[in-house]
Amino acid sequence: MKKIVIALIMAVLVFSFAAAGGNRAAQTSGASRGTVRIAWLSLSPDDRTDPISGIVYKGSYALKEMLERKIPGVEIEFIMIPADNWIQKMETTIEAGDADIGWYTNQVMAPNWFVDHRDFMARDPSFSEADFERTFTPGAKHYTRYRTFDYPESTGAILGLPYDVGAYYIIYDKLLFEQWGVPPLQLKPSFDEIREAAQRMTGRNPVTGQDNYGIYLVARWSEWLGVGADIYRTISIPDMDLRKLNVARDVDYIRNSQPVLDYFQFLLDMIKCAPAGVTNETGHERFYTTDNNIGIMLDTSRTQMLYNHIEAGNRAVTDRFIPVLLPRNVSGATSFPEVHKVAVTKLARDKELAWEVVKTICLDKEVLNLLYSNYAFGNAPALMDTSGIHIMNDRFTAQRYEDRLTGTFLTDDYWYWRDPIRNIFSSLFVGRLTAEQARTTFHTDVTTWVNNKKRQLGF
């Protein structure tokens, strides 16, 4: 009888150890933990072959495979959000509960879409709010913490994590500069330097006899070029109470502002030096070709293509078309302070699991290298520690990264002037406004925006 009892005990122990081992094996072998659905802007499932470089950029399946390898047991599903009207489409997807994670850039609607990630950080021993502060660059941190007059109750919320920052630049044609006898642009050119060069290169080329245009620019990005012209105020209001906005300093300055007037006049002067097609965004088609007729490309949506030529080793292009940084204001700020982020949605099915995926996307350098080489090329890292980030081996990318460290425009809210001013440029470009009229309209429209928002907020 005693032998039978001992045998039974041994059998129970063997079964228990086997069960425990089986559980550990299930955990390490990637037993199913669920599906995380990620809505991402323009992230196609299919490979894309670049017509310039011939390089094949991988579809979203490559990112899916890497994330699933990094987080065993998790299935990743991508939802592609088309670029046209992406804000409305992202909002519809998130509000329908169809996404656990959403992609976004600086967006006033973000607190309606995403949870405050400080709650995750408070429970996460591997990534606290202090880690957030140490990990990302000042600009990336600033624009991942929410601050706007629209939703003051969400002030300070951390809405996701950043994975890169926009790092825009302009390009000049070295050959045209030489043919016209114009000194090349500096790495950090001024508006006056750009204006003088553009005006000197507009007309009949003294070497080729062909008509040249000194510059190409577009209305829709002129709002952000204005950062470098010092036409905006930076504000710091800890609780984002609109009643604390210093209207005399931060709104009424516009009425008699010389920098605002000068900037609108700069644009009018440059329109005279540009192809007639700038009003409808045509006339740039010969840029990057041997028959190029534009001296300076001030439209940053056209400059990003340079990196395709760099990757292709097209020396005929890269030796001739030279990138430089955007003009900066007296404090050194310039350009759109754009930060690209992913965040856990309010209707995510498993928020903790989605948070794990967000961290992997934004912190794992192997994942980041895949992003930068296939889906986010041309931008700069959001990390302070860029060791192991391959794009930093490119000299100009490293210069743009440093420029974002020191030259990012930091303010608690820019919507109060952004919404009004971006409606002005289309009228300016077609000659409906003088510089003085544009400045008056800017002041009037910002004043109207502030007053309307106060009424909406019940002030």
407-424 CB burial, b ≥16 within 10 A, e <16: bbbebbbbebbbebbeeb
Mean pLDDT of 384-403: 97
Q: What percent of the chain has pLDDT above 90? A: 88
Domain identity same for 73 and 126: yes
Task: Determine the Cα–Cα distance for residues 84 and 98; give it in Å rounded to an integer.
Answer: 19
Instruction: Point out the least confidently predicted range of 51-55, 125-129, 254-258, 295-299.
Output: 51-55
Report yes or no on 157 lying in a domain: yes
151, 41: one domain? yes
pLDDT at 22 over 80: no
pLDDT of residue 311: 84
Please give the tally of structural domains in the chain.
2
In this structure, the answer to whether residues 55 and 98 fall within a common structural domain is yes
For residue 141, is it within any domain?
A: yes
Q: What is the band of 8 on the pLDDT scale with cuts at 50, 70, 90?
A: very low
Task: Please report the pLDDT score of residue 289 as a whole number.
Answer: 94
Same domain flag for 257 and 349: no
pLDDT at 414: 96
**238 and 370 part of one domain:** no
What is the domain range of residue 198? 170-334+423-456
Query: Has residue 7 been placed in a domain?
Result: no
Alpha carbon distance 330, 324 (integer Å): 18
The percent of residues in the chain predicted with pLDDT above 70, rounded, is 93
Q: What's the pLDDT score for residue 30?
A: 53
Given this model, what pLDDT does residue 229 score?
Answer: 97
> Is residue 17 included in any domain, yes or no?
no
State the pLDDT confidence band at 377, using cuts at 50, 70 and 90: confident
Using the predicted structure, report yes or no on whether residue 442 has a pLDDT greater than 90: yes
- Token pair, residue 302, equals 């056209």
Question: Is residue 271 domain-shared with residue 347, that is, in the same domain?
Answer: no
Query: Does residue 403 lie within any of the structural domains?
Result: yes
Has residue 376 been placed in a domain? Answer: yes
DSSP collapsed to 3 states, the chain:
CHHHHHHHHHHHHHHHHHHHHHHHHHHHCCCCCEEEEEEEECCCCCCEECCCCCCEECCHHHHHHHHHHHCCCEEEEEEEECCCCHHHHHHHHHHCCCCCEEEECCCCCHHHHECCCHHHHHHCCCCCHHHHHHHECHHHHHCCECCCCCCHHHCCCECCEEEEECCCCEEEEHHHHHHHCCCCCCCCCCHHHHHHHHHHCCEECCCCCCEEEEEECCCCCHHHHHHHHCCCCCCCCCCCCHHHCCHHHHCHHHHHCHHHHHHHHHHHHHHHCCCHHHHHCCCCCCCCCCCCCEEEECCHHHHCCHHHHHHHCCHHHHCCEEEECCCCCCCCCCCCCCEEEEEEECCCCCHHHHHHHHHHHHHCHHHHHHHHHHCCCCCEECECCCCCCHHHHCHHHHHHHHHHHHHCCCCCCCHHHHHHHCCCHHHHHCCCCCHHHHHHHHHHHHHHHHHHHHHHCCC
Q: Would residue 384 count as lying in a domain?
A: yes
Q: Are residues 254 and 111 both part of a single domain?
A: no
Q: Are residues 241 and 352 in the same domain?
A: no
Q: Output the pLDDT for position 50.
A: 83
pLDDT digits 0-9 by tens, 27-58? 444 589 999 999 999 999 999 998 877 888 99
Q: Are residues 328 and 359 in the same domain?
A: no
The average confidence (pLDDT) of the chain is 92
Q: Is there a domain that residue 40 lies in?
A: yes
The token pair at 442 is 């800017």
Q: What is the pLDDT of residue 84?
A: 93
CATH number of the domain bearing residue 112: 3.40.190.10
Instruction: Quick: pLDDT tens for 94-142.
Output: 999 999 999 999 999 999 999 999 999 999 999 999 999 999 999 999 9
Q: Dump pLDDT digits (tens) for 180-216.
A: 999 999 999 999 999 999 999 999 999 999 999 999 9
Within this chain, do residues 262 and 394 fall inside the same structural domain, yes or no?
no
> Does 396 lie in the same domain as 276?
no
Pair (216, 276) in one structural domain: yes
Q: Rounded to the nearest 5 degrees, what angle is found at the Cα of 185, between the Cα atoms of 325 and 338?
A: 15
